[in-house]
Amino acid sequence: MEAKPASEPISASAETTLTSSRFGRAVAGLPLKTQLTVNSTEILDNVATQLLRLLINGTSEKLILLTSSDANAKDSVFQALFSLFKQVRLLYTDKPLLSVENVAPGLWFKGGHPPSILKGHDAFIMRALHKANLLTYLLTITGCFHYGFSFLDDAFIEIFCPSFVNSHEEAEIAGSVGGGRLLKLQTVLYLDLKTQAYISALEEANSNEGLTEELRKRLLNKIFPDAMREFLISKRANKNVRLSPSEEDFVARSARRREKLMKQENLEDLIKEYDWMDFFKELFFHVQKSCIGIIWDRQDSASKMTSLTPNVNTPTPKSGSEIVSSSINARFEIARQRTPEREVTPGPAVKKPKEKRLWLKSEEEALVTALKTHGPAWSKILEQHGAGGSISEALRNRTQVQLKDKARNWKMYFLKSGLPVPDYLSKVTGDLERDEKSRKRSKARKNSSGNKDNRTTTTRSPCSSPKARKIARVLEVSSENGLSPELVS
């Protein structure tokens, strides 16, 4: 549909329709097509917000069930919103990601400032694009959109590490996440995403032409290219040739992961080692934390969240014949089969703590070996035994906090049992005196909380005030001793 020239007369009814939005008559002089795309950002924002809230306000298992084909037929809310979202996206483009050029073609260009006619509205438009593109990415992960792993791989940096600054708000958000640079947590997710893309391509090739060494090399060269450094730089708007320390680490880890994958010839072992659900849960938790600021429009959390603005220079996904663009439906269907069926209802869900992963013997052995060599240098340990580690990947599913907690628990076991503490645990934090104070403080806080609940539901008893004062004194003493909230939890 071609845009009509701005000089073409507009009927009274059409003018009323096209100016009855937050943009008012500011866009009245624009072509009708542009008026439609600009004004429709309100609908895009509304639908994307509702869908994101529905999808991420719960657990990863709920998301799997909600987006399954069987659940789609039952859940009229999700189906209605999803259908509407697809229709609204088509007003702008048939490509996966939306950009400012789709909103105001010919007026707003990639890497440029918004046109004067949209001044004051650019932040709202950008926020709507944030939500829509993140939603497209999430729905592709769940198999609702069929853009494949090629799109997920190409768009990862654009979605989670934006580098362009079309407004003051975008400058603040881009600065908070490194201005288009991969951060430590994102490098691990991106490395695992590339690994899943490789496994998916192997599965498709295995069912079609069979696996050969030449095919595996070709896939690895495409997903883990030798020119990874140049690839990262190409994703930036300023083309800064200097990589951050976390990006340099990612380049090294990618090379080591590629070497390891090349040595692994058994596809079943590869699928078992790099489990799809483990990756999906980690990505879901990351998206969940990143979304809080934008889907509830909390301005005060904008500087703390991970920005979800895409780079407008996102390449169009390769054709379906490209092996790396293989559908993720087959892999996600296995995840759905492993998820217990239960009724999925929209609305707020009871928040559950992140599921704990039991420690494997190989993980414990790797941690002990690393502690003997480096002591409690958690970052160094993960560099050698984490994802793409220089020695092994035994601890690739662990964080620095988990390593610290595990080592501390070991040390406290020896202390409480009256056994000599091994040398490799001597520098690990933790002692009996502090542990005892932490337990007392925790108990006092629980009593204080219970006492407050009683005061709100029952008549105040004569002994409640002295008890409250006693608890307050315990808390005051604990605070003076410098106990931190982390020790209580």
Each residue of 17-72: pLDDT tens digit?
A: 444 467 877 788 888 899 999 999 999 999 999 999 888 887 878 888 877 766 55
Each residue of 90-143: pLDDT tens digit?
A: 999 999 999 999 999 999 987 788 888 888 888 889 889 989 999 999 999 888
- Decide if 380 contacts 341 (C-beta within 8 A): no
Compute CA 283 distance to the chain's CA centroid, rounded to the nearest angstrom: 5
Count Cα neighbours of 8 within 13 Å in the Cβ-side half-sphere.
10
Q: Dump the DSSP string for 76-98.
A: HHHHHHHHHHHHHHTTT-SSSS-
CA-based nearest residue to 178, from 123, 229, 242, 227: 242
- Per domain, the residue ranges of the chain are 22-68+76-145, 148-156+176-297, 361-428
Helix (DSSP H) and strand (DSSP E) numbers for the chain: 23, 0
This model's pTM is above 0.75: no
Q: Which one of 12-16, 99-103, 239-243, 439-443 scores highest in mean pLDDT?
A: 99-103
**Cα–Cα distance between 403 and 158 in angstroms, integer?**
31
- Decide if 49 contacts 295 (C-beta within 8 A): yes
CA dist list (Å): 276 to 218, 270, 329, 356, 388: 22, 11, 12, 17, 17
- Decide if 367 contacts 392 (C-beta within 8 A): no
**Cα–Cα distance between 85 and 191 in angstroms, integer?**
30
pLDDT at 466: 54
- Decide if 483 contacts 438 (C-beta within 8 A): yes
Q: Which residue has the tokens 């050969």?
A: 212
Each residue of 163-191: pLDDT tens digit?
A: 544 444 444 444 344 456 788 888 999 99
**Coil, helix or strand for 146?**
coil
pLDDT at 255 > cutoff 90: yes
Q: Which residue has the tokens 């410098």?
A: 482
Contacts of 87 (CB under 8 A, 6+ apart): none
**Cα–Cα distance between 30 and 106 in angstroms, integer?**
11
88 backbone dihedrals φ, ψ, rounded to 5°: -65, -40
Question: What is the share, in percent, of the chain residues with pLDDT greater than 70?
Answer: 66
**Cα–Cα distance between 479 and 485 in angstroms, integer?**
10
